Amino acid sequence: MDNQLERLGLRFNPFEPAASGAPLGLELWVPERWRTQMHELLNTLESGQGVKALAIQGEYGSGKTYLLRWLEFVELPFRRIRPYFFDNPGVQFYDLANRLLRQVGRYEFAKMLWEYLSPELPGFQMTLFEQGLIPWLRSVKKFKRQDDARSVMAKAIMKRDIASDEEIAHKLAQIVVGTLDQPYFEYRDFVAGRRGAVVAEKEEPPYFTAIIRILKKAGHSTAIAFLVDEFEEISLQKRLTRRQAYDYLATMKRLINVARDEDFWLIVSMIPEAAEKIQQLEASLWDRFTSQGTYEFRIPPLNGEEATELVRWRLREARLPGEEPPTPDFPFPEELASILRPTTISLPRRLVKVAFYAIAEAQQKPDMTVPFTLEFLRQIEERVYPAPEAEGEEASL
C-alpha cells in the first residue's frame, strides 16, 4: 500500500480527476434533498398509466449523468423498471432502435423473444438432448425451413399481442431467424427499405412499441425506461438544418406518443439552454416532458452540508479497514465547505476535482501537513479553477 495514502488514512484516492459520471466501484450516493425530490416525482409518475416523461436539468458538472446512473443502477431496478442508458439517441427514429437493440445485443434479444414465444413454436426436428435458441436455429437451417420459421414466429408475435402489423411481425421474426448467420446488428439493419433490414418501412411507431413490449414482457419487468444523457449534444460535429433539428425533437415526441399505452419511462437530462430551446422550438414536447412544468427536476446546487457529506461518503469508501480517522473529513479540515468558494462547493464535479488534486498532491509531498491547511486547499482550488483576472474590465471575459 502507498505509505503516503496510508498517512492520509486512505486505501486509494476516492476522487477522480475527470469527475465525469458515476465513479467506478463505489456505492452511489445522492444528497438527501435530491433523493427526496426524485422519490416524490417518481412515486407520482409511477402511480399513473402509460408513458412517463421526465426532464432533468442541470449545468455541466452539476451531476446529471451521476443522477441518471443512480436511477439506472439503484432506483429504477428497485422499482422493477428495466433501464436502458443512451448518451445520444440520434436524429432519426430508427437510430434510436439501432442504439437500443445494439445495447441489448442481437443474440440476447433473439433469445429473449424466442423463449417468450417458444410455447407457440413447433420443434423443426429438435433433438431430444439439445434445447435452446441456437440448436433450434441450427435445426431450422439444416432443414431449410427458414421461411416456415419466420412465418410461425410472426404468427406467434401477433398472437401474443406484441405487434398487429404483419410486416413488423416478420421483421422481428427475422431478427431471431437471422441470428445464427449474423449474431450482431449492423447500422444498415436499421435503414428502412434496404435488403435484410430488420425494421419496417415507415412504421416506426408500432415497430418501436413492439420492441418495448418484447423488452417488458420477456424481461419480466413492470416497465421499460430510456435514460437519455446529454440531450444537448444533438450534433457534435455537423450542423443540422432546421428540419433535422425538428426531426430530432420529433423523434422524442413520437417516442412519447408511440409508447403512450405502454408502461414506458423516458428520462432525459439536459443543460438549461436545451430546456429553453425545446420550449421555443417544440413547446408541445416540453409539455410532455414536464406536464406543463409540474414534473421537472432542476438539480439544485450543493449547499455546504451536502458538499461535506459528498466528501465524507467518498472518503468512507476508501478508509483503511479497522482504523478510525481523527475526524470524518480527515485529511480535509472540518470547515472544508467554508474554505472553498461557494461556486466550487455548489458543483459536484468541481468539488470532486479539487478533492482529487488535494489528495494527489499530498501523495507527492511526504512533509505535507494534515489535515490540509486552508492555504493549501485554496491554492489547489485556484490552480484547478482559476478566478478571472480582476483588471481589464472593459475587455471581454
Partner 1 sequence: MLPAWDGSYRERWLLSAAVGNAAWVQVIEVGIDWLTAELWGIDDSRIVGDSVELGRVAVMSDEIQVMEGSLQTASDPQALSREQHLWMRGHYSFAELRELVTLLKEYPQGLRPMELNRIVYELELIRTQKGNKPSPTTLYHYRRALLKLGIVKRQGRNLVIASDDALVAALVDYLTEGPGLSPEERHIFAEVVLRNVECRQNFFDLFMPNDGLYDRAEFMTKGAPVIWQASRERKGRRVVFSRMDGEIIRQIGTAVEIQAILYGLRHWARDDLLLIDELFREDIGNLMFPIREPGSAPDATIKQAILGEISPENEWTVLSVQDLIYKWGVGLRVPVAQVFNTIAQIYRKHPDKVALIATSRSLATLTTASGFREDFELRNYLQDERGRYISHIRLHQHLREDTNG
The sheet carrying 264-270 orders its strands as 81-86, 223-228, 264-270, 52-57, 296-298
Alpha-carbon distance 99 to 34, whole Å?
29
Closest approach of Cβ 33 to partner 1, in Å?
Answer: 11
Q: Is 242 in the site for partner 1 (CB under 8 A)?
A: yes
Three-class secondary structure of residue 83 per DSSP: strand
Alpha-carbon distance 115 to 168, whole Å?
19
Taking the least distance from each CB to partner 1, the nearer of 237 and 294 is: 237
Residue 119 corresponds to which cell in the numbers above? 410455447
Residue count, binding to partner 1 (CB under 8 A): 39
Region from 12-20, 147-155, 156-164, 388-396 binding partner 1, contact rule CB under 8 A: 388-396
Burial class (CB in 10 A: 0-12, 13-18, 19+), 372: buried
Among 40, 108, 273, 335, binds partner 1 (CB under 8 A): 273
Q: Is 277 in the site for partner 1 (CB under 8 A)?
A: yes
In this structure, the strands spanning 223-228 and 264-270 are parallel
* CB atoms near residue 181 (< 10 Å): 9
Q: Is 394 in the site for partner 1 (CB under 8 A)?
A: yes
Alpha-carbon distance 358 to 339, whole Å?
13
Among 125, 164, 182, 343, binds partner 1 (CB under 8 A): 343
In sequence order, the 6+-apart residues with CB closer than 8 A to the CB of 115 are: 133, 218
Among 165, 203, 232, 287, binds partner 1 (CB under 8 A): 232
* C-beta separation of 305 from 337 below 8 A: yes
Q: Is 271 in the site for partner 1 (CB under 8 A)?
A: yes
Among 79, 141, 316, 341, binds partner 1 (CB under 8 A): 341
Secondary structure element (H or E) that encloses residue 82, with its range: strand 81-86
Closest approach of Cβ 20 to partner 1, in Å?
Answer: 15
Binding mask 31-60 for partner 1 (x = CB under 8 A): ----------------------------xx
Among 48, 50, 272, 293, binds partner 1 (CB under 8 A): 272
Taking the least distance from each CB to partner 1, the nearer of 102 and 341 is: 341
Among 233, 261, 305, 335, binds partner 1 (CB under 8 A): 233
Considering only CA atoms, give the Rg of the chain.
26
Q: How far is CA 286 from CA 130, 205, 228, 298, in A?
A: 52, 20, 15, 14
Taking the least distance from each CB to partner 1, the nearer of 240 and 374 is: 240
Q: Is 235 in the site for partner 1 (CB under 8 A)?
A: yes
Closest approach of Cβ 62 to partner 1, in Å?
Answer: 9
Residue 330 corresponds to which cell in the numbers above? 480527515
Closest approach of Cβ 392 to partner 1, in Å?
Answer: 9
Binding mask 284-323 for partner 1 (x = CB under 8 A): --------------x-xx-x--------------------
Alpha-carbon distance 51 to 260, whole Å?
5
State the residues that interact with partner 1 by CB under 8 A.
59-60, 232-237, 239-242, 245, 271-274, 276-277, 279-281, 298, 300-301, 303, 341-343, 346-347, 387-390, 393-394, 396-397
